[in-house]
């Protein structure tokens, strides 16, 4: 049992920094798939995420593992008016019940092995009982005891019958299934016996008996059901089931209150009164997925437009949630803002044809989206580089689009680069840019796949050049590019190792250039495998690579062209009498370096590791099991070096962790403390930032007595609020001293502490 944390910590809002060691949710809430109303709260399922809109405060409250939910991938939401409980259903059939701020988890079905399809389709409440329509029968939950009471298999010979929705009329339960409508008396004590269930065969047209019925509701004391088809049909049960309205509907969902029946038709809603008259049609929607009456208000979940309120039969409000456009995080990039590339490819060879572009978050946590049209018809965005005020967007299909001040200024392709951005050898219009990087002279470097000259540069003067490595073009796919301290370019060749290119700092003169293709051979890289997934340069200039067989390091990249040994080395970890190479059983999707030169490692199956600067010590290991991470498959990582926030793009969305390391400052000014003042109910670490790299820091009371001393992680020191005796300090003002560039101490800040 857990509490919803926004009830415990209401002072932390979405736009604020979170304390050190805390997580922050950046899931996408742009769509709307399911909706349910609980008094003044309207809950919405959006692309697997959950939030509620408080109609009293007009506030949006995100719900996730960060603030107490048990899982990710929400598929449905329901509200039980009888006892004021909210039921959250997940795609994996995990269940949360929220009861007065307490979250009670029921994981029985998630853990149960069931042959065939396992999913929960709908929730229906009857006082203190919840009926869950599922692909394997009817699940009964006791909402008082908060436990599964029974599961009814209603199909012939106790076979699983996929139930789509449930309704109750008087004392009879009706189930709309994939092979007709079943019913049974709800007070029957033997409903777990399939023989107690009957298929309703009384239809005006007997051929409908075994059809798929996907919805069923009670309206005006009549059962209304929807028969699935290319155009859905509505049926009403009088003496027999018969056609209700002679109109074909698409993607039909039913909602009802005591006066009105709402029938959705993808882009419009038909409102039917108690006499069966089609009294009004509300248009202007795009892709309706659900609707829910809250008294006389109708709330609509539209896949494309979001959550919408209808009042007095008119559109009254559209709820816009500040979030990324999509949960796809193909690549993360941080440079004053966070850039989330949504596009990508499937194993390089197949384009996703993703038009979602890029979501960008500024320092105020406000999001904007540059989509296919905004980027002048550029899809599958895989990488970004920023030079001055210009943002360069790499497309795995359409070259490079450039934005400035939120406006598109140019798109670079074959024609306007003199053929430098060449098209693939098999197509005259496809340009597959995999990565972009800026060097110290503001030249823009990049990689282009399946072309003769894959490495290219746009100089600060606007000149374009490209360079060959004499490789066979078919299947010549490139991934990441980095630039080392000698201005050498390192890049990943998909399933073929690495390249290193040295232009000898004479970009326009190719006669003094040299390159090497690195492989698994000793003396030519000694890579653990040719399947390289990630590459980065650390603060010491070392080149770290992530492979399908762990991590390796080039400790002396300056010797690549020297004739001396430069091979990479794997890090040997000693465990008792045995040793093994670091993370050798893991696929390393990404490596990023923080302000303390520590390595954040994103894996394909095991979440995130934080390793010491040399990789020998494990500081953290976060997984979806022990943290709010939505998935153990980490696609990309980015770090805000000014505040230590580490962003993780996973296969199920974006999340961040506030770490205790920042980039060291060259000039120690504007030192900040967070939080300050430190209130009596705060028990986390206190960050002291904008310090010299690895500065010595001490904290004293107002009389000069030493309270605490430490060294900064990069540019940030961390204090747990305790003195040298490990006791929480008392109320008062505390002074922070830091060493300056010549080792002299200087008071840099004051902290007000309230015990």
Mind listing the pLDDT tens digit for each residue in 103-148? 999 999 999 998 889 999 999 999 999 999 999 999 999 999 999 9
Q: Give 156-170 pLDDT, tens digit per residue.
A: 887 888 999 999 999
Give 536's contacts (C-beta < 8 A, 6+ positions apart). Answer: 482, 543, 544, 591, 592, 593
Q: How many CB atoms lie within 10 A of CB 225?
A: 25
Q: How many CB atoms lie within 10 A of CB 3?
A: 13
CA distances from 316 to 38, 291, 311, 419, 745 (A): 19, 15, 6, 53, 61
User: Please, are residues 535 and 544 in contact by the beta-carbon 8 Å criterion?
Assistant: yes
User: Please, are residues 200 and 182 in contact by the beta-carbon 8 Å criterion?
Assistant: yes
Among 122, 120, 97, residue whose Cα is nearest residue 109: 120
What is the Cα Rg of the chain in Å? 30
Task: Give me the percent of the chain exceeding a pLDDT of 90.
Answer: 85
Plot region of 121 (φ>0 → left; ψ -120 to 50 → alpha; else → beta): alpha
Q: What is the pLDDT of residue 651?
A: 96
Task: Give me the percent of the chain exceeding a pLDDT of 70.
Answer: 97
Cα 535 from Cα 520, distance rounded (Å): 16
Cα separation of the two ends of the chain = 29
Q: Which CATH superfamily is domain 672-753 in?
A: Outer membrane usher protein (2.60.40.3110)
> Is the pLDDT assigned to residue 541 strictly greater than 50?
yes
Q: What is the pLDDT of residue 16?
A: 56
Q: What is the pLDDT of residue 7?
A: 43
The CATH number for 523-659, chosen from 3.40.50.300, 3.30.70.580, 3.40.50.720, 2.130.10.10, is: 2.130.10.10
Residue 109, H or E segment: helix 108-111
Cα 419 from Cα 668, distance rounded (Å): 47
Q: Where in the chain is the domain with CATH 2.130.10.10?
A: 523-659
How many residues are recorded in the chain?
A: 755
Q: How many CB atoms lie within 10 A of CB 596?
A: 24
User: Please, are residues 348 and 297 in contact by the beta-carbon 8 Å criterion?
Assistant: no
- Strand 180-185, strand 85-90: pairing: unpaired
DSSP code of residue 669? -
User: For 41-66, what is the mean pLDDT?
Assistant: 96
| pLDDT level of residue 4 (50, 70, 90 thresholds) | low
> Is the pLDDT assigned to residue 578 strictly greater than 90?
no
Q: What is the pLDDT of residue 515?
A: 98
CA distances from 75 to 71, 94, 111, 400 (A): 11, 10, 17, 37
Q: What is the pLDDT of residue 10?
A: 38
Q: Give 232-253 pLDDT, tens digit per residue.
A: 999 999 999 999 887 778 889 9
Q: Where in the chain is the domain with CATH 2.60.40.3110?
A: 672-753
Tokens of 334: 């941080």
> Is the pLDDT assigned to residue 12 strictly greater than 50?
no
Cα 104 from Cα 96, distance rounded (Å): 6
Among 755, 743, 741, 752, residue whose Cα is nearest residue 701: 752
> Is the pLDDT assigned to residue 258 strictly greater than 90?
no
> Is the pLDDT assigned to residue 8 strictly greater than 70?
no
Which of 13-22, 44-53, 196-205, 536-545 shows the lowest per-residue confidence on average (mean pLDDT)? 13-22
């Amino acid at each position: 049992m857990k509490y919803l944390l926004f009830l415990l910590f209401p002072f932390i809002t979405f736009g604020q920094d979170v304390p050190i060691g805390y997580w922050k949710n950046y899931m996408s809430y742009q769509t709307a798939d399911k909706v349910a109303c609980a008094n003044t709260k309207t809950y919405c399922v959006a692309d697997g995420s959950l939030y509620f809109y408080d109609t009293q405060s007009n506030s949006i409250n995100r719900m996730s593992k960060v603030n107490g939910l048990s899982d990710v991938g929400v598929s449905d939401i329901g509200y039980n008016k009888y006892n004021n409980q909210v039921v959250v259903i997940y795609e994996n059939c995990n269940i949360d019940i929220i009861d007065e701020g307490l979250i009670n988890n029921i994981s029985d079905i998630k853990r149960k092995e069931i042959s065939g399809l396992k999913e929960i389709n709908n929730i229906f409440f009857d006082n203190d009982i919840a009926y869950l329509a599922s692909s394997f029968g009817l699940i009964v939950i006791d909402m008082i005891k908060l436990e599964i009471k029974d599961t009814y298999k209603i199909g012939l010979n106790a076979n699983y019958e996929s139930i789509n929705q449930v309704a109750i009329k008087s004392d009879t339960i009706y189930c709309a299934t994939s092979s007709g409508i079943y019913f049974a008396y709800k007070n029957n004590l033997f409903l777990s016996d399939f023989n107690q269930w009957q298929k309703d065969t009384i239809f005006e047209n007997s051929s409908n008996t075994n059809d798929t019925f996907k919805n069923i509701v009670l309206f005006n004391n009549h059962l209304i059901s929807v028969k699935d088809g290319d155009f859905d049909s509505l049926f009403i049960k009088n003496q027999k089931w018969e056609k209700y309205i002679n109109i074909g509907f698409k993607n039909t969902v039913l909602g009802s209150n005591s006066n009105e029946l709402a029938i959705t038709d993808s882009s419009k809603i038909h409102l039917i009164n108690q006499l069966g008259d089609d009294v009004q049609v509300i248009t202007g929607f795009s892709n309706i997925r659900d609707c829910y009456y809250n008294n006389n208000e109708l709330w609509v979940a539209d896949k494309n437009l979001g959550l919408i309120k209808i009042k007095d039969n008119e559109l009254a409000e559209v709820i816009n949630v500040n979030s990324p456009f999509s949960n796809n995080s193909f690549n993360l990039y941080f440079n004053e803002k966070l850039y989330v590339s949504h596009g990508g490819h499937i194993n390089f060879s197949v384009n996703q044809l993703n038009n979602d572009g890029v979501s960008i978050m500024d320092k105020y946590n406000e999001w904007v989206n540059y989509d296919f049209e905004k980027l002048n018809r550029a899809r599958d965005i895989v990488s970004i580089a920023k030079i001055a005020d210009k943002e360069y967007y790499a497309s795995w299909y359409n070259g490079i689009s450039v934005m400035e001040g939120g406006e598109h200024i140019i798109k670079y392709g074959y024609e306007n680069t003199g053929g430098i951005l060449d098209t693939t050898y098999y197509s005259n219009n496809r340009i597959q840019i995999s990565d972009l990087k800026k060097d110290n002279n503001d030249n823009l470097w990049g990689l282009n796949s399946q072309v003769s000259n894959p490495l290219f540069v746009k100089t600060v003067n606007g000149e374009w050049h490209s360079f060959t490595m004499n490789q066979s073009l078919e299947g010549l796919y490139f991934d990441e590019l980095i630039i080392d301290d000698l201005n050498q370019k390192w890049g990943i060749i998909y399933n073929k190792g690495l390249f290193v290119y040295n232009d000898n700092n004479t970009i326009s003169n190719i006669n003094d250039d040299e390159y090497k293709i690195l492989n698994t051979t000793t003396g030519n890289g000694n890579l653990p495998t040719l399947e390289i997934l990630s590459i980065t340069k650390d603060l010491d200039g070392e080149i770290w690579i992530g492979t399908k067989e762990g991590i390796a390091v080039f400790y002396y990249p300056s010797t690549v062209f020297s004739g001396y040994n430069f091979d990479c080395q794997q890090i040997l970890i000693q465990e008792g009498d045995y040793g093994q190479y670091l993370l050798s059983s893991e696929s390393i999707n990404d490596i990023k370096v923080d302000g303390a030169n520590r390595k954040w490692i994103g894996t394909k199956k095991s979440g995130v590791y934080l390793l010491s600067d040399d990789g020998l010590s494990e500081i953290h290991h976060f997984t979806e099991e022990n943290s709010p991470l939505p998935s153990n498959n980490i696609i990309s990582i980015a770090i805000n070096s000014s505040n230590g926030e580490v962003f993780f793009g996973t296969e199920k969305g974006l999340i961040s962790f506030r770490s205790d390391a920042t980039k060291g400052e060259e000039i120690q000014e504007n030192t900040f403390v967070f939080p300050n003042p430190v209130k009596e109910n705060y028990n986390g670490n206190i960050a002291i930032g904008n310090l010299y790299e690895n500065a010595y820091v001490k904290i004293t009371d107002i009389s000069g007595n030493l309270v605490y001393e430490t060294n900064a992680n990069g540019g940030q020191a961390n204090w747990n609020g305790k003195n040298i005796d490990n006791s929480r300090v008392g109320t008062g003002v505390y002074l922070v001293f830091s060493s300056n560039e010549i080792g002299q101490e200087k008071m840099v800040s004051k902290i007000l502490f309230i015990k």
